[in-house]
Amino acid sequence: MPEAPRSRKFATAAAKILLGAVLLFLLWKRGLVDPVRLGRSVHAHLDLCLVAFVCQGAILVLMGIRWRLLSRSAGIGLTWTESVRLTVMALSLSTCLPGNAAGDLAKGWILSRRGVPFARTLGTVAIDRWTGIAGLFLSWALWSAVLFAVAPEVRPLAAVLLLVSVPAAGAFVASSLWGAALERHLPAPRSDTGLVDRFLRAVRDILETAARSGTDRRTVLAALALSLGNQVLMVAIGWCAVRTVDVAATIPQIGALLPATMCANALPLAPGGVGLGETVGALGFSRLGLPAWTGSETLLLVRLASVSWAVPGILLWILDRPRR
């Protein structure tokens, strides 16, 4: 019996990897991703690629500081260097392993070896991710509104983006600030033996930690400000990418389309959303009247700026992981 779940997990991971490979293959066959053309662009604009790499590093630093702020409210004492180091390691594992939660689980495992309850760590990671998503939708709503105002020719597209981003931004910000009440409505587990009760207890532990992290409104507002700073840096990475492929995309266009591709990347259909974000990028750029291949290659460069940090992250994981 234990073999079946393991085989299903292996089959699911293999299917995700296969889907990402198939999507990249189809993009290549349709001329939307050309490795030779992309290599020439990168070689001609190494300075822009370096700026994108540095901006991605700054994003990781801000993410680490944000997690430290939120985890301190839950009683987890991390230095900012520890939180940044664990954030870089988590990015590497989430990039290299199927499933976007691998890095979060690694954080929980490492801190559990230091005596921090696993559920408490996952609770801080949950509110950290939540405020990060809230910042993404806030930025998306802002740039979509700017695009709607300054580009009448693409107002139908900008209106659709506004219809998606504005309600989502409001919901995520409100739940970040007042979501602590959710934990009160969960049924209390009746015992420690049943599978359902153990699951409920784990969920309550995670939500209680998230609620404690979100109790201090000033901390949550600071976390949201850091999330917006991350989105500014993401737009800067997108700007470097579009200049690398020599396409005349504007800052409002980048700011309005990039979050849509990031949402596609977050779908648990392929490792890191490989192929999904590039497909959405090609579709979005074509709707702006730009060549579709510039969208897919722009998003591939944005992905490479992030993936390149997996190398130092894996080295940190090898050096810092706890002994068994």
Rounded CA separation 320/238 (Å): 32
Mark residue 75 as left, alpha or beta (left: phi above 0; alpha: psi -120 to 50; beta: remaining).
left
- DSSP code, position 192: S
Q: Give this prediction's pTM.
A: 0.81
Q: What is the pLDDT along the chain (324 residues), one digit of tens a residue?
A: 344 456 665 666 666 667 667 777 777 777 778 888 888 999 999 999 999 999 999 999 999 999 998 888 777 878 888 888 888 888 877 776 655 667 777 787 788 877 787 777 887 888 888 889 999 999 999 999 999 999 999 999 999 999 999 999 988 888 777 765 555 555 555 555 556 666 556 555 555 655 555 566 788 889 999 999 999 999 999 999 999 998 888 999 999 999 988 887 776 666 566 677 788 888 888 888 888 888 888 988 998 888 888 888 778 777 766 555
Contact (Cβ atoms closer than 8 angstroms) between residue 255 and residue 146? yes
What are 316's two structure tokens? Answer: 């940190």
Would you report the helix, strand and coil content of the chain in percent, each value rounded to 5?
80, 0, 20
- DSSP code, position 98: S
Whether 12 is covered by a domain: the verdict is no
Whether 112 is covered by a domain: the verdict is yes
Whether 13 is covered by a domain: the verdict is no
Whether 25 is covered by a domain: the verdict is no
Whether 9 is covered by a domain: the verdict is no
Whether 4 is covered by a domain: the verdict is no
Half-sphere exposure of 284 (CA within 13 A, CB side): 27
Q: How many domains does the chain have?
A: 1
For residue 51, the enclosing domain spans 37-320
Whether 262 is covered by a domain: the verdict is yes
Rounded CA separation 120/102 (Å): 17
Whether 150 is covered by a domain: the verdict is yes
